[in-house]
Structure 1
Amino acid sequence: MPEPLPVELMNTVRPDEDQLDDAVAWLDPVGPVDLDQLRDLRTALRRLAADATDDPRAPVTAMSRPDALTTLNSLAGLARTELSWPADGPPERTLHGPAVGVIATLGVELLAGEARGRLRACLAPNCVLYFVKEHTRREWCSPNCGNRARVARHYQRHRQD
Structure 2
Amino acid sequence: MILPGEPLPVHLMNTIWANRNGIHDTLATLDSLRGWLAVVHDDATAQRITEDDIPYFHTLRNALRRLAAHRTDDPRARATTSPLTPHQAVAIINRAITQSSTSPQLSLADNTLSSTTTNKGTLTAQTLAAFATQSIPVLTTAPLHACLAPACVIYFTKDHPRREWCSTTCGNRARAARHYHRRKPS
Deviation, structure 1 residue 2: 2.6
User: What is the CA–CA distance in structure 2 between the aligned matches of 1:147 and 1:125, rounded to whole Å?
Assistant: 10
1:98 paired residue number: 126
1:37 paired residue number: 56
2:76 paired residue number: 57
- Structure 2, unpaired ranges of 5+: 38-42, 105-116, 120-124
Deviations 1:27-78 (A, max 9, x none): 2422426211110000000000011111111113221111111111101113
User: What is the CA–CA distance in structure 2 between the aligned matches of 1:76 and 1:154, rounded to whole Å?
Assistant: 46
Task: Confirm whether residue 73 of structure 1 aligns to residue 114 of structure 2.
Answer: no
Query: Which of the residues 157, 172, 175 maps onto 1:147?
Result: 172
**TM-score, normalised via structure 1 length:** 0.82
2:35 paired residue number: 25
- Report the structure number with the largest CA radius of gyration: 2
Task: Confirm whether residue 130 of structure 1 aligns to residue 145 of structure 2.
Answer: no
2:114 paired residue number: none
Deviations 1:74-123 (A, max 9, x none): 0111343567xxxxxxxxxx9x66211110111123223x21xx100000
Letter of the aligned partner of 2:35 in structure 1?
A
Letter of the aligned partner of 2:69 in structure 1?
A
Identity %: 46
Task: Confirm whether residue 7 of structure 1 aligns to residue 10 of structure 2.
Answer: yes
Letter of the aligned partner of 2:137 in structure 1?
E
**TM-score, normalised via structure 2 length:** 0.71
8 Å CA contact 1:124–1:148 kept in 2: the answer is yes
Letter of the aligned partner of 2:163 in structure 1?
R
Q: CA RMSD in A?
A: 2.2
What is the count of residue pairs matched by the alignment? Answer: 148
Structure 1 residues 81, 109: CA separation in 2 closer, same or farther (over 3 Å shift)? farther
Q: Provide the secondary structure at the position in 2 that maps to 1:98.
A: helix
Q: Provide the secondary structure at the position in 1 that maps to 2:17.
A: coil
Q: Please list every run of at least 4 consecutive aligned residues from structure 1 whose deviation after the TM superposition is greater than 4 angstroms.
A: none
8 Å CA contact 1:121–1:128 kept in 2: the answer is yes
Greater share of strand = 2
8 Å CA contact 1:119–1:131 kept in 2: the answer is yes
- Structure 1, unpaired ranges of 5+: 84-93
